[in-house]
Structures are given as structure tokens and as C-alpha cells.
Structure 1
């Protein structure tokens, strides 16, 4: 089940990336910004081949593929098929050197992901994972916070795990980010899609705690009504 696919994504991993969000998550982390991806909706079932065809059609540079959700590991067979296809596409695309990395987000801790043969097979196809549930109180906080940004993590408990030589090259130095006092600033991009239900605005990235409520308040004061938002019940 697919929630969304978007290109370009510049806020969930290094470089210019293709982003794929799965639909369905039973973890329901408090403060999650993507509550619209929680329900497992059979109406959003999309063949893996269609997603791979979309990747093949992308016009510009692709430095990596980021898979998030929802919870990708709650669809292990589909996730494995997707990553096998992405790796095959990468091999055809990068014949001399592999420059495209695969990053997968999960709300499960890494020790659980590495526990079964099924999920270990998936991990072997990733260059890196960012693992662990979102914990709202461990997000550095809003615009007046002095806490540093966690870059591609939502909360300080989440772990960046490089899983390949390319993953270690691109993510190894980030495994401890947030503990060094670095502040890279907020990393959020805006996407506007036109669909059968009208125009929809997506915020892609890792905002600080309170940033989205602050944004909607600013928009309301400017006369822009945000309507339903994914981070509120």
C-alpha cells in the first residue's frame, strides 16, 4: 500500500532523492506528523512494478531513494520486492560506480529489525536505516529552542545505522548527530499536488516540535485556512 511517491526530495537524506511513503502503521507514535498514513487502506494498493516504473521515468539526478511511511516493515514482502527492484535499477543505472543509496525509515528499533530472517534480508538491501519510534519530548523543540537539529531524525532516540560501504560513507558520520551540539537548522520542503479532491499541500522533512502548529497559526493570521492537517487527530 502506497501513501505517496515524490521527486525531488531534498530533506530526507543526502542529495536529490526519490521519496516513497508506504500506507499503514500500527505504532501510532504520539506527535506523529503523518497520521494520514496510519490506516492500512486497501484502496491504496499499488503494484511494485508501477512504483519501479515511476522511478525509471524520473527526469533528473537521483542520488538516493528514501522509503518512509507509515511503517515500511509492516509490509515486508512488498518492501523486499521494492528494494530488489530499486537495486536492479541502480545496477543498470550506475554501471561503473554505485552512487545511488537506499535509506529506509522505521519506527521499530534496530535490534527488532535484525531479529528475523525476513527483516534481515531487507536490511541487507539497504545502505542505511533510521530506526526507532518517534518520541515527541526528544525532538529538540520549537523556534525558541536552543537544542540542535537532528537533521534526518525526528527525535534523539532514533538511530542512524549504516549497512553498506556506501552507507558508511554517506551516513557514518551522522550516527551521533544531535549529541555534538551541531545545529543544521530546520529541513522541510513544500510540495503542492493537484488531485481529484483538489489541491493538497505536503510538508516533507523533519520539522522541530511545534513548528507545524506555529506554521498553521501564521497562515491563519494571514487569512490562509489550512483545513484538515495530518498531525492532528
Structure 2
């Protein structure tokens, strides 16, 4: 894909991680993209390691799109962070590139710590919303992380899962009702353990204890101050 196809000169994205397959953040087998940099700093955030906008993590958007094109069996793309909307131009280039590559049945789900009202406030972010199929909006509030609320893809009950397209409404409209509870996915890369998914309060400590009993010691973790 050329720079022109992404809507202008080549953009770079501060990238924390990319992983496939992701099975815990949206339906099916998904490509997961986590941006680097977030100033919202929700207490209890699982991904404190993605808060710093570290310029060393910059990567051309075309490289991320090349990785996506190398994958097979992709049902959707999930973009989280960090805070994707704090890199609006790079996010726009990424979303446009995904739209140019993806078959019609591949959906785009984006996570944001901003409230939906704020994202709808400007023309620039409204355009970004329209490029998505569904968006989870709102800050994570730890005391509203409740198992009995049927939250499958949301971290706390204040957050909204907004459907944008017909595909989004089909896949996410009633998806959190009557479904299995949230679960976690574990990935080991470069001697680091990554937890992917929506944990409930206490899940991370229990998981760490179980890994420790198996001889896997976590050391420094990203969800503690």
C-alpha cells in the first residue's frame, strides 16, 4: 500500500504490540493492535506499560498493514491501547488501510477511554468513528468492574459498546447477553507474559498465583503502580 492510499504522506503509529490470533476482545479470531501512549491513566488499568508515548515505538502504518495482509483466517481487527484516539492521524491512516484491505465480513472494534460524547464533539473524531464497526467508549472504573453485569468485552459497566455499521450491529448488538463470561488469553513472547482480555477484579492476582505455583514467576507487572 502506498502513502497515497492511506490518505496522505506516510504516517507512523506509536505501537505497543500486535498479536494474532486474539480471541478475547471481540468475536472470532482477531488481529489485535495496541497503540502506545495514553494520558487518561485510569486507576486499575491493566496496561500501564502503554501509558508513555515513547517515540522509540514508532512504526510506519504501512508496516502494520503489511502484517495484517500476511494473516489468514481473520474475522476482525481490534484496536486498543494506550489510547488510539490520541493518535488521530495515524489512526485514520490505519483505519483507511484496513478498510482497503479487509473483506466485507471483517469488522473493526476500537477501544477508547474517552466518553462517546467527547468523541462525537469534533468532525475529526466523528470521521474516525464512522470508519469503525463498533467502539467501546468511556474510562475504566475499577469499582464498576462487576462479574454479574454480563460484561463480556467491556471492563466496567459505565463503558458503552456503540455499534456504528450494519456489521457492527449484527455482531455486537446483542452479543453481551447470555454469553459466556469474560476470559483471558495468555501470550508468551520474548520472555514476557502478555495477558489479553477483560479481567474481573482479582483475576490478575489469581492468575499470577496459579502461574507461580507452576513455576512461572511474574516479577514486575503492568497493572500495579
Scaled by the length of structure 2, the TM-score of the pair is 0.90
Q: Which residue of 1 aligns with 2:196?
A: 204
Q: What's 1:5 paired with?
A: 18
CA offset digits 1:111-144 (Å, max 9, x no partner): 1001101101101100010001000000015xxx
- Say if 2:172 is the partner of 1:171: yes
Tell me the residue number matched to 2:82: 70
What secondary structure does 1:32 align onto?
coil
For residue 132 of structure 1, what is the aligned residue in structure 2? 138
Is residue 83 of structure 1 aligned with residue 95 of structure 2? yes
Write the distance in 1 (CA, Å) between the matches of 2:54 and 2:161: 29
Provide the rounded CA distance (Å) in 2 between the counterparts of 1:11 and 1:101.
Answer: 15
State the distance in 1 between where 2:213 and 2:105 align: 45
Report the equivalent of 1:99: 105
2:46 aligned with 1:18: no
Deviation at 1:42, TM superposition (A): 0.2
1:228 maps to 2:220: yes
User: How far apart are residue 54 of structure 1 and its match?
Assistant: 0.4
Separation of aligned partners in 2, 1:120 and 1:185: 31
The secondary structure found in structure 1 opposite 2:174 is helix
2:45 corresponds to: 32
Residue of structure 2 in register with 1:187 after alignment: 183
Q: Does 1:110 align with 2:116?
A: yes
Q: Is the alpha carbon distance of 1:106 and 1:81 closer, same or farther for their aligned partners in structure 2, counting shifts above 3 Å?
A: same
Question: Relative to 1, partners in 2 of residues 1:111 and 1:148: Cα closer, same or farther, differing over 3 Å?
Answer: closer
CA distance in 1, matches of 2:76, 2:215: 38
After superposition, what is the alpha-carbon deviation per residue over 1:99-120, rounded to whole angstroms, capped at 9, x for unaligned? 0001100000101001101101
Q: Distance in 2 between matches of 1:159 and 1:192?
A: 31
1:44-80: CA deviation from partner (whole Å, max 9, x where unpaired) = 001000000000111x211100000000000000000
Please report how far the alpha carbon of residue 173 of structure 1 lies from its aligned counterpart in structure 2 after TM superposition.
Answer: 1.4
CA distance in structure 1 between the partners assigned to 2:150 and 2:223 by the alignment: 20
Q: Which residue number corresponds to residue 151 of structure 2? A: 150
User: 2:5 is matched with which residue?
Assistant: none
SS at match of 1:52: helix
TM-score by length of 1: 0.87
| CA distance in 1 between partners of 2:94 and 2:179 (Å) | 34
